[in-house]
Chain A
Amino acid sequence: MDGYVQRVLTATPSRLAVPLPADIISTVEFNHTGELLATGDKGGRVVIFQREPESKNAPHSQGEYDVYSTFQSHEPEFDYLKSLEIEEKINKIKWLPQQNAAHSLLSTNDKTIKLWKITERDKRPEGYNLKDEEGKLKDLSTVTSLQVPVLKPMDLMVEVSPRRIFANGHTYHINSISVNSDCETYMSADDLRINLWHLAITDRSFNIVDIKPANMEDLTEVITASEFHPHHCNLFVYSSSKGSLRLCDMRAAALCDKHSKLFEEPEDPSNRSFFSEIISSVSDVKFSHSGRYMLTRDYLTVKVWDLNMEARPIETYQVHDYLRSKLCSLYENDCIFDKFECAWNGSDSVIMTGAYNNFFRMFDRNTKRDVTLEASRESSKPRAVLKPRRVCVGGKRRRDDISVDSLDFTKKILHTAWHPAENIIAIAATNNLYIFQDKVNSDMH
């Protein structure tokens, strides 16, 4: 956890003071091996980065990420019936486990999910009998002998094609997708419903959760995130805006409105305020790699839950408790509704989440140590070790501390991802993508 070095990948040149809205990164996801890193932005584009294979010739470029492919995944649409725009912003990207030479990922905006296949082509057949090099038909009179076309190497070309488009499944805005461990199905969740799809079938989906009340005036709770269990293909969890988690078993019933387990922490009466419910709304839920624990993020804390205990989380970490006294201001400028994501590391020993002022926090579950780091160009040079930051809340103030009132609430780190095996993290800060590697890790190579 100590000593992260950084590389910055950015969508706009640094001379632009204000990033274009279309360049703001809206999701970050590593694939299952960590070789590829996909980012989606508000303009509907997906950019895939690939890790360079480590070579002995250039010991400094040990496994750095470079652009592999870019494509336009979603376009803006207009729903004429409701006279509403459908944004092209990519809400989530999820990689499918690799089954052949091609890579596949699912990307979704508010309404439509698309399955993209990414293939490489590095050989080209040459020596056709009927066509010449440009593809024009040859004059048959010039053909005197037959040849067998051979495959010759060519410059690497990455081709991306949409293989499936899963449309019209959702009335409300899709907030999460999750691929099942059976590698055949996946689910998509919007504010009130969760649908189960088969990866090969686009014109049908099964509704497995529906919390829409008969009277919309009774609506008090929405679904905020959902995920399949990493190993058990029948289990999934979804979180709500009231701070509860529901674990459902698809074997129990076709419609999983009735949960198998309800994880909810009783409210602390001493901290009760008008904002208690808003800050208890869970913005992200992630299963651990082991499948035994769940990580949830609400506005001020991250919590680790044991699947075997529903009464309360086993660990609670304060992300930015100094904001507790500022909730009214944060409510007024809408920051209180920001949805932060959280991430596990490969061994489930460290958890990470983002905060404001381009800060992000990491908590070591074993040593109970935590660190605050900043993702900014100015704060450190590339390949320099990141310096831990501190927010002072009154009392003694050290030299490099930031005071709570000078935090920049427009610079928020909502999307983070951790390499599945190594200590490499990807942080999305507005339009910039920061990739940090553990110094220990990089020194070893």
Chain B
Amino acid sequence: MPRPRGFEQEAPPPAREWPISGRSARRAQRRPFVDAEWRSLAPPRAVGRSSLSGGKLAAAAVAVAEQRTRRAASRVRIVVTKAPTACWNRGSPLPRFSCGLRVGRTGRRDPDNRSLKDTMFARGLKRKCVGHEEDVEGALAGLKTVSSYSLQRQSLLDMSLVKLQLCHMLVEPNLCRSVLIANTVRQIQEEMTQDGTWRAVAPQAAERAPLDRLVSTEILCRAAWGQEGAHPAPGLGDGHTQGPVSDLCPVTSAQAPRHPQSSAWEMDGPRENRGSFHKSLDQIFETLETKNPSCMEELFSDVDSPYYDLDTVLTGMMGGARSGPCEGLEGLAPATPAPSSSCKSDLGELDHVVEILVET
């Protein structure tokens, strides 16, 4: 059984003939070092592995991991190569900026903006300016700077989310790297809530009924936490909810702050897709958490290998959803079939989100 691997295929190392030291080896007389001789002294790399005689769990895990990496490989390959262009999407909220961003100096100096800007633009991306910019330029120069900074910040957030998702696809996530990326995401989120990005919500966002999304997000997270017993790192919304997830009871009260928050996410880009980043971070952290060895004991629970698969998480959750914290939501949400459909649509939205990143 092939061992689960990332995307790269390691070429099988050349077999080296080497008498294992300590058994029958006679070390050749010492000579000045020469490349070829060194190779002959090196021990044989373990070629091939004994077949994994694990139980069904191992087989399932391997199969799921392979399936996931195959899916991830196709998905990730696209995203990674195209991510830099993703931030400059066409759906800019304010029409006067549809001509794109001006590269170079603007009237207002912002140290943070400069540091991000130089690096972001170092890529050599150019946007053709469509037209009537000269009149409004002076007045909007300052606003442009702010908008470009927030766009860059958004793209950094997107990149970080993609990285987190990547790292939970690989076989052995590097905990230090994941923690640093998660801290960066948290930092961006805090800044975005602090500088009032949430407040600038157009009223029409309310009628988009993000409640469906809220419901699905909550249920997803609750299912993950309830079954696991451990908590993923805070998702984007946790800045507003109180602490650990078990306090999901004030969900109805928390809805109010979450409401503009999820809508605010939509402001920056294609609305129906930005909002689901909210959910995607939770997903990422929950599956990152399952990879985390601290949840070893939870692996023995009845949801282990299917847990890695989002589909089965959702379907499994449908059956075993906790009713307690859900009460408030259920009063607001439509009847039972609707959550499942919204969850399925969320899946579709996740793919859509990826597509948006890719701009296909």
Binary CB contact string for chain B from 187 to 223 against chain A (1 if under 8 A, 0 otherwise): 1100000000000000000000000000000000000
* Residues on the B chain within 8 Å of A274, using CB: 116, 153, 156, 184, 187-188
Is A75 in the interface zone, CB < 8 Å from B? yes
A158 pairs with B21, CB closer than 8 A: yes
Is B15 in the interface zone, CB < 8 Å from A? no
Chain B interface size band reads 35 or more
A328 pairs with B183, CB closer than 8 A: no
A219 pairs with B116, CB closer than 8 A: no
Contact of A13 among B39, B58, B120, B123 (CB under 8 A): B39
Binary CB contact string for chain A from 149 to 191 against chain B (1 if under 8 A, 0 otherwise): 0000001111111000000000111000000000000000001
A84 pairs with B119, CB closer than 8 A: no
Closest A residue by C-beta to B245:
A217
B120 pairs with A328, CB closer than 8 A: yes
> With A9-B38, A329-B122, A329-B123 known to touch, is A80 a contact of B54 (CB < 8 Å)?
yes
Contact of A22 among B26, B45, B180 (CB under 8 A): B45
Is B139 in the interface zone, CB < 8 Å from A? no
Among the stretches A65-73, A127-135, A307-315, the one at the interface with B is A65-73
Distance between B350 CB and nearest chain A CB, rounded to angstroms: 22
Distance between A9 CB and nearest chain B CB, rounded to angstroms: 6
Closest A residue by C-beta to B244:
A215
Closest B residue by C-beta to A325:
B118
CA of A216 to CA of B83 in the docked complex: distance in angstroms?
A: 29
A159 pairs with B231, CB closer than 8 A: no
Closest A residue by C-beta to B297:
A81
> With A9-B38, A83-B4 known to touch, is A66 a contact of B31 (CB < 8 Å)?
yes
* Residues on the A chain within 8 Å of B111, using CB: 270
B57 pairs with A80, CB closer than 8 A: yes
Is B175 in the interface zone, CB < 8 Å from A? yes
Among the stretches A220-228, A253-261, A422-430, the one at the interface with B is A220-228
A159 pairs with B65, CB closer than 8 A: no
Contact of B62 among A82, A83, A217 (CB under 8 A): A83
* Residues on the B chain within 8 Å of A364, using CB: none
A216 pairs with B230, CB closer than 8 A: yes
Contact of A87 among B122, B172, B305 (CB under 8 A): B172
Contact of B299 among A11, A81, A220, A327 (CB under 8 A): A81
Contact of A76 among B46, B83, B159, B232 (CB under 8 A): B46
CA of A216 to CA of B11 in the docked complex: distance in angstroms?
A: 37
> With A66-B30, A273-B112, A325-B115 known to touch, is A171 a contact of B294 (CB < 8 Å)?
yes
B32 pairs with A75, CB closer than 8 A: no
Contact of A278 among B31, B61, B180 (CB under 8 A): B180
Closest B residue by C-beta to A156:
B27
* Residues on the A chain within 8 Å of B57, using CB: 80, 83
Q: Counting chain A CB atoms within 10 Å of each CB, which of B5, B32, B36 scores highest?
A: B32
- List which B228-287 residues lie within 8 A (CB) of chain A: 230-234, 238, 244, 285
A217 pairs with B232, CB closer than 8 A: yes
B116 pairs with A328, CB closer than 8 A: yes
A215 pairs with B231, CB closer than 8 A: yes
* Residues on the A chain within 8 Å of B32, using CB: 61, 64, 66
* Residues on the B chain within 8 Å of A11, using CB: 38-39, 42
* Residues on the A chain within 8 Å of B292, using CB: 216
* Residues on the A chain within 8 Å of B30, using CB: 52, 66, 156
B179 pairs with A172, CB closer than 8 A: no
> With A13-B36, A83-B58, A273-B116 known to touch, is A159 a contact of B21 (CB < 8 Å)?
yes
A241 pairs with B179, CB closer than 8 A: yes
Is A409 in the interface zone, CB < 8 Å from B? no
> With A222-B176, A277-B184 known to touch, is A212 a contact of B294 (CB < 8 Å)?
yes
* Residues on the A chain within 8 Å of B119, using CB: 325-329
Distance between A220 CB and nearest chain B CB, rounded to angstroms: 6
> With A70-B41, A85-B3 known to touch, is A220 a contact of B183 (CB < 8 Å)?
yes
Distance between A114 CB and nearest chain B CB, rounded to angstroms: 14
- List which B20-49 residues lie within 8 A (CB) of chain A: 20-22, 25-27, 29-33, 35-39, 41-43, 45-46, 49
* Residues on the A chain within 8 Å of B20, using CB: 71-72
B180 pairs with A337, CB closer than 8 A: yes
Is B13 in the interface zone, CB < 8 Å from A? yes
Closest A residue by C-beta to B44:
A72
Is A21 in the interface zone, CB < 8 Å from B? yes
B35 pairs with A10, CB closer than 8 A: yes
Is A206 in the interface zone, CB < 8 Å from B? no
CA of A325 to CA of B30 in the docked complex: distance in angstroms?
A: 50
Is A20 in the interface zone, CB < 8 Å from B? yes
* Residues on the B chain within 8 Å of A64, using CB: 32-33
* Residues on the A chain within 8 Å of B159, using CB: 331-332
CA of A173 to CA of B174 in the docked complex: distance in angstroms?
A: 8
* Residues on the B chain within 8 Å of A82, using CB: 291, 293, 296, 299
Is A251 in the interface zone, CB < 8 Å from B? no
* Residues on the B chain within 8 Å of A40, using CB: none
CA of A231 to CA of B343 in the docked complex: distance in angstroms?
A: 61
CA of A224 to CA of B177 in the docked complex: distance in angstroms?
A: 11
CA of A10 to CA of B42 in the docked complex: distance in angstroms?
A: 12
Distance between B104 CB and nearest chain A CB, rounded to angstroms: 15
CA of A331 to CA of B172 in the docked complex: distance in angstroms?
A: 20
* Residues on the B chain within 8 Å of A229, using CB: none
What 19 additional pairs, Cβ within 8 angstroms, besides A82-B299, A334-B163? A13-B35, A52-B30, A61-B32, A65-B33, A66-B30, A67-B38, A70-B43, A76-B46, A85-B5, A159-B25, A212-B294, A215-B244, A216-B294, A217-B244, A219-B179, A272-B112, A274-B116, A328-B122, A334-B177
27 of the cross-chain contacts (CB-CB < 8 Å) are A10-B38, A12-B39, A20-B11, A20-B13, A45-B43, A67-B41, A71-B43, A72-B46, A78-B58, A80-B54, A80-B55, A83-B61, A83-B62, A87-B172, A155-B29, A157-B21, A157-B25, A158-B25, A172-B175, A216-B231, A216-B232, A216-B294, A222-B176, A277-B187, A325-B119, A334-B163, A334-B177
